[in-house]
Structure 1
């Protein structure tokens, strides 16, 4: 049995490399896209929540409306556990706000803690 020429070995290695890239590239791209979406969701919830902390008339504010719509829509589109965790923290922020037009110091501290928890979510 012959082991083959160098050209055959190089060709075989190139084929194995091509198959490996073809198999794992879509997985890598999907994972990267999920990371970007999760990072974007985190940033939107954090930024919007921080804007709500000092506001009066929260229920009438555009930020509160955006936050509630974003969380409700994104929850339906959640594709992985990290996304669900991020959106659940956003939903908890909305629940802490409740029907309040102005946040009490206790509500502000709860939301600040939830924002910190959100920042700690590893993507």
Structure 2
């Protein structure tokens, strides 16, 4: 009966460590890229939410700031997952700039669009 030699335990530990090192080296860049995109999307949502809220409250230059933010974000966008956010943001800018719509209808549509994105804004009370 032949006994199969498996070698010293140190060789097995070394081979396992090398295999783990190769796995980390191969998949770490994908994971860090995923985390970076996730954080960029989160930051984009936060800034969009704040700027839209400011535009709803009719703060000075808020619509202009929102427009510039959307345009700059379009230029720097490398993630197709952000396209919907930027397109809806662009549509909201056009709603704010459309003088044919009354303010109440604009606000309701913007609140609906933000809810569609999963973001919440409060509709300011209009004093008559």
The normalised TM-score by structure 2 is: 0.80
Q: Which runs of 4+ in 1 moved over 3 A?
A: none
Count of residues in Structure 1 that have an aligned counterpart in Structure 2: 115
1:117 lines up with 2:116 in the alignment: yes
Structure 1: 5+ residue stretches without partners: none
Q: Among residues 5, 23, 27, which one is paired with 2:26 in the alignment? A: 23
The normalised TM-score by structure 1 is: 0.82
> How much has 1:67 moved relative to structure 2?
0.8
1:6 lines up with 2:5 in the alignment: no
Max Rg structure = 2
Structure 2: 5+ residue stretches without partners: 120-128
What corresponds to 1:106 in structure 2?
105
Superposed CA RMSD = 2.0
Q: For residues 71 and 103 of structure 1, what CA distance do their matches in structure 2 show?
A: 23
Q: For residues 66 and 103 of structure 2, what CA distance do their matches in structure 1 show?
A: 19
What are the residue-to-residue correspondences of 1:30-109 with 2, within 5 Å?
Answer: 30-55=33-58, 61-100=60-99, 104-109=103-108
Partners of 1:46 and 1:118 within 8 A in 2: no
